[in-house]
Structure 1
C-alpha cells in the first residue's frame, strides 16, 4: 500500500464520485499484468475501495476482510469433500478475497494513510495464502482419497513454486529500487501493456487459479486444469528468474569509498 495520496473527506462526495476519482488517479498496470488481475480484479477492487472509504474502514481492516474470505476458503478445502457446491463456494470466497486485496491499497490512497506497516501486513497475508492454498488442497484430497497419491506432489510442488515466485517478485522490486532507476520497476518497464501480453500470462493469473476451483465437482477435470496452471506458473518462474538475474547482474553500482573501520589502518 504505497500509492500516492489522493486523500479527501468520505462524506464530501458521492460513492460514484469516489469511484471516478480512483479511476482517474489509478496507477497504470505493469506490462506483465495478466488479464483477470488487470481488467477485472482492479475494477472490482476499485468499487470495494470506494465502499470501504465511505464507511470509514482503514486499509488494514480491508486487508483483514480479504484474509477472512481467503482463509475460510482455504479451510473449506481441508474440511469438506470435493463437490460442485464446494467448488463454487471456494471460488467465490477466493475471488472476493482477491478483490479486497486489490482494494486495501486504493483505500490507503484515498485516506492518505500509506505506511510501511500496511504494506508489510498486506504482503504477509499474500505470502501465507499462496502457500496455504495448495497445501490445503493436498490435505483435503488426501483426507477424502479422491486422487492417486502421486498426484498430491503437484499441489505440494506448487506451494513451493508459489512461495518462491512471490518472494522473487518482492525481492526483485526492492533490489530495483536500490539501482536508483538504472533498472526500472515493474510498473515503469518500457512499453505499454497489451491484450496479447495480458492473455499470454493468463494461465498464471491468481484470478484464473481461483476460478479453477469451480471445477471441483469434476475432480478429474479439475486435476488436469490445476496441473496445467501449476506447470505454467513454474515455467513463468523459471523464465522470470533468468530475466530478473540478468537485469540485476547488468547493473554496475557506483563505487563509493569504504568507510574506515575501527582498527583498520589501511
Structure 2
C-alpha cells in the first residue's frame, strides 16, 4: 500500500514546533488509544527533548477498555511518563483528569520572584500530536469554550495561538504533524484507517480491503454485522461481499467498491463495529 504524506504545511508545522517548545513548561502528547504506538510521532522525542511530558490517550470511547488500561500501565512503566486516558466526548473529563497533572508538573518549573516566591508568569502548556487525534476538541474542553476549530479532516488546526485556561495557565495550540517517511506499511495503514492521513494520501478501496482482512484475522466477531457467509476470503473479496450485503450495487449487479469502502472505513472510525484497539503493549 502506498501512502503519500508530509505536504508543505507539515514541514512548516515541524519548524513551528521546534520554535514553540522553548516557550512552554509542560508538553501534553496526545495519542490515539486505538494505536498508541503508531500514533507516537518519532519526531517528537527530538523536538521535545527533556521537557516535562504527559501522554494522553484520546478516543478511549473507540478503544478496548482493557487494552487502554494495559497501555497506560506500559507507558508509565516503560516510557516513564505520566499517562492518562481521555474520552473527549465526556464533558469536563479532560479538565478533571488532565489539569491537575499539568499543574503538578508545571508548578515547580514556572519562574518565581526572589522575594515572596511569586509566579512571574502563568504556567505554559503545549499540546502536540498527529493530525485528527482530537487536539482541538481537547483544547476546547480545557478552555471551557470553543476556541480551536474542530473537524474530522487532518490538518484542520494549523495556526499558532495562545489560549487562556480556566485555571489561569496558558496553552499553546500547535498543528498536528506526521513524520516525513512512512516506511512501515503497517504503521501507515493504522494511521490511515484511524483518520490521521487525509483521503488524498491513500487508496480507500485498498485500505478498506486490508482492514477487513485484518479484522477477519484478529477480531472476526466484529464482522458479524455484515452477515458474511465466509471470512476465508481475500480482503478484496470481503469488500465485495460487504458491498453486496449493504446493497452497494450499480448497473449489471456489480458492487460499487468505493461506496462499500466508505461504509467500512466510516463504521470503523465511528465505533459502529465496536471498541477496537489495533495494538497491544510489547
TM-score, normalised on structure 2?
Answer: 0.21
Between Structure 1 and Structure 2, which shows a larger proportion of helix residues? 1
Structure with the larger RCO, 1 or 2 (CA within 8 Å, 6+ apart): 1
